[in-house]
A = this chain, B = another copy of it.
């Protein structure tokens, strides 16, 4: 139940239209809370109906016309409430770890290539995060908002660092397992 709050946060940072939000989700918030444009439009409709945001006045609010939203006081209050509330961590689900566990039973045939691919993806993501850090968080500036946003970015960097290291080890381990094409039949 966090998508509405992600949208409220994004809109407080800057009032936007559905498509602008979609783009910003792809670039920054989406790194830890992804959403498609359909989800976003649907949620904008709900938030407006609930009186948490409103469409900025415009000439004709027709289809194909940009429609920007801003957060109302009730929306800010709801976001503050949600941020402060205690929440249990949702269980993670990780397909790759599951596949490795399955490979322990049915064999590792074909797995190594995909591990390498994942390694590359994570390396790319890590590089992107470091780029952002260099650009947006040069040493020195540390207002409150910057501090918190930097903290979030650092979580991303450290997570990707973990994955690249772990995947390198996984690739190496899987590569040196007995025999090519091993597949552990019944």
Contact = CB atoms under 8 A, between A and B. Distances in A.
Contact of A99 (B83, B93, B96, B121): B83
Nearest to A9: B102
Given A105-B9, A105-B13, A166-B155, A147 B94 contact: no
Contacts of A105: 9, 12-13, 79, 145
B96 A114 contact: no
Interface in A118-146: 118, 121, 144-145
Interface stretch (A15-23, A27-35, A61-69): A27-35
B162 A159 contact: yes
B114 A9 contact: no
A148 B145 CA distance: 42
Interface of A: 2, 5-6, 8-9, 12-13, 29-30, 32-34, 73, 76, 79-80, 82-87, 89-111, 113-114, 117-118, 121, 144-145, 147-149, 151-152, 154-156, 158-159, 162, 165-166, 169-170, 173-174, 177-178, 182-184, 186
30 contacts: A2-B98, A9-B105, A12-B106, A29-B98, A32-B97, A32-B98, A33-B93, A34-B93, A73-B186, A79-B102, A82-B102, A83-B99, A84-B114, A86-B114, A87-B96, A89-B121, A97-B152, A97-B155, A101-B149, A104-B144, A104-B145, A104-B148, A105-B145, A144-B182, A144-B184, A147-B173, A148-B177, A155-B166, A158-B162, A162-B162
